[in-house]
Structure 1
Amino acid sequence: MTVTVLAVLGRGLVDPATPVLRADDLGLLRGDGVFEAVHVRGGKPWMLDEHLARLARSAARMELPLPAPEALHDLIDQVCARVGPQEHSLRLICTRGSEEGGDPTFLVLGSPVGAVSINARDTGVRVRTATLGYAVGARTPAPWLLGGVKSLSYAINMASQRWAWSQGADDVVWVSADDYVLEAPTATVVWRDGSRLLTVPSAETGILAGTTARHLLDRAGEFGLTAGEELITPAGLVAADGAWLISSIRGVAELRSIDGQPLGPSPLTADIRRLLGF
């Protein structure tokens, strides 16, 4: 049985229907906070250390203190002990707290993985490209743009996906103003070029470095491939020998079309799913 479980710092497990945020919480008012989403398998969080490290990097960039590691792990353990054997997403959420000041708000939410995410692993996704309006290297010298930070400010991400749905697509691949592929609203772009398995460089572009994508590329040798990072245009992605959106919860979603141009299927998709456990 799949269940939703909530734990809040200082309160432990609470009913998920219980209000846990103040009306003036800055995470609610301004999206001022950070989060991570972790895949839970058989009650065990997958790649938890990598996600906690990225959460710490995001929090440091936003000058936001996280709970002590032992308190954080205790909340995670409480939630994972209750979610059951089916796959869940585990959201670790830290907001700046009340507008009046005081401690940040921290909570852990375990929720069943939805059917849309699961089905995308089998059917793949059709994507539209959408510009973010700035050049590929614009975020690196501008720290206030929060390149590489997994913040709660996801309004643009969700608006992008709703636009894609209105166009008959499943998701978006963002591109820079100078026509380079960046990332998807909730996933990392990975593609195959002959004997190479590639992704977009995060340091150069300010995209969020994907934990699951990094795990995949670190094991590219198991497919007889080499791993790397480089820039690519949407046209280059169409010409690739396979392309995927890789994320912690949806897992592996093969790109089946970009702006109406068909891709795949790639024989590597099944091997990637097996390697990543999806």
Structure 2
Amino acid sequence: MGTAAGEGADRATDRGADARVVVLVAGGPDGPRPRVHPAGEPLLLADDLAAVRGDGCFETLLMVGGRPAKPERHLTRLGRSAAALGLTGPTAGEWGAGIALAAREWGPDSEAMVRLVLSRGPERGGPETAYITVAPVGPHAVRARAEGIAVTVLGRGFPADFAASAPWMLLGAKTLSYAANMAALRHAAADGYDDVVYLSSEGEVLEGPRSTILIARSGELVSPPAEVGILEGTTLGALAEVAEREGVPVRRERLLLSDLLTADAVWLLSSVTLAARVRRIDDVTLDGAYPGVDVAGMVDRAVGRA
């Protein structure tokens, strides 16, 4: 397993904005056991299939006050992704031990982004590669939480029922094949936008390249269902539990772009940025009034920030 920041007892006191700690899952007589890997030393072989084919899966979670946010949800989804790819990977307990070591290495003083990575391993043959990286939460995420974002709408090029008819496309898995998502974000940035909302070929709202879409409408919260071929959001799931306790209905419903444009408010939810309110969709500025539902506050409570 692995994670991000310094190195063991010798790590620097001042990590700096770009510091990392990497924890490697090493084999042993009792199964995989985590250890700290020096951040400045190579970790992957040149033919690791994560690097040459994106053949693997990952999860990213937030660490707040030295504690990982909703790790069980992430480990459950990682297990589903690994199964879809035909990978075994460490057990949830073994990943958990790596996360705990990463948290001790990072410390409680600042929020961190924790990424769990599972690769099929070297192309030449050999065991799967599993590691965790930890890094500071970047300024883009902090700014998006505080100020909101402008998004552009892009077509994904396939119908909403494509996941059911083409399971080999792995649309419900969080795979390492992220080149298209990153290209979409660069395309958006070049046009002055912060993020992207994907639509199906029929015009149904899907998800963002790294986020779940949520709207407020008449006092309830609505998000597209997983059946339209999107990744099931762990932040949405945690939010829904808090919302239920606080009497706010959360429903899953197929949405169109018009539903976003006429909603009381729109957010992109993700594990690190958390809740980024959408202020503009292409050339349409959204109503900035309070929608009657404190989504950001409920997300903070769901992940232990409040």
Which interval holds the TM-score relative to the shorter structure? Answer: over 0.9
Structure 1 residues 268, 110: closer, same or farther in 2, change over 3 A?
A: farther
Counterpart residue number, 1:59: 82
Q: Which moved more, 1:54-63 or 1:215-224?
A: 215-224
- Match runs of 1:169-184 below 5 Å: 169-184=193-208
Structure 1 residues 93, 28: closer, same or farther in 2, change over 3 A?
A: same
Cα distance in 2, alignment partners of residues 186 and 236 from structure 1? 21
Say whether residues 1:146 and 2:170 are aligned partners.
yes
| 1:75 alignment partner, one of 91, 98, 103 | 98
Amino acid at match of 2:115: R
Amino acid at match of 2:241: D
Deviation at 1:78, TM superposition (A): 1.2
Counterpart residue number, 1:244: 267
Counterpart residue number, 2:145: 121
| 1:21 alignment partner, one of 44, 48, 53 | 44
Deviation at 1:68, TM superposition (A): 3.1
Counterpart residue number, 1:104: 128
Counterpart residue number, 2:211: 187
Task: Determine if contact 2:275/2:296 at 8 Å carries over to the other structure.
Answer: yes
For structure 2, the residue ranges without an aligned partner over 5 or more in a row are 1-13, 27-33
Structure 1 residues 270, 192: closer, same or farther in 2, change over 3 A?
A: closer
Q: TM-score, normalised by structure 2?
A: 0.87
Task: Determine if contact 1:27/1:95 at 8 Å carries over to the other structure.
Answer: yes
Cα distance in 2, alignment partners of residues 28 and 5 from structure 1? 20
Structure 1 consecutive aligned stretches of length 4 or more whose deviation exceeds 6 Å = none
Cα distance in 2, alignment partners of residues 141 and 223 from structure 1? 38
Amino acid at match of 1:67: P
Say whether residues 1:31 and 2:54 are aligned partners.
yes
| 1:6 alignment partner, one of 17, 22, 27 | 22
Counterpart residue number, 1:218: 241
Task: Determine if contact 1:255/1:264 at 8 Å carries over to the other structure.
Answer: no
Deviation at 1:256, TM superposition (A): 0.5
Structure 1 residues 79, 23: closer, same or farther in 2, change over 3 A?
A: same
Deviation at 1:274, TM superposition (A): 2.0
| 1:271 alignment partner, one of 279, 294, 303 | 294
Q: Deviations over 1:124-179 (max 9, x none)?
A: 11000000101111122211110210000000110000000111111100000111
Q: Which moved more, 1:228-237 or 1:27-36?
A: 228-237
Say whether residues 1:160 and 2:176 are aligned partners.
no
Cα distance in 2, alignment partners of residues 145 and 169 from structure 1? 28
Deviation at 1:221, TM superposition (A): 3.7
Amino acid at match of 1:57: R
For structure 1, the residue ranges without an aligned partner over 5 or more in a row are none
Deviation at 1:105, TM superposition (A): 0.3
Q: Deviations over 1:204-252 (max 9, x none)?
A: 2110000001111233245543111111111220100111000000011
Amino acid at match of 1:20: L
Say whether residues 1:133 and 2:157 are aligned partners.
yes
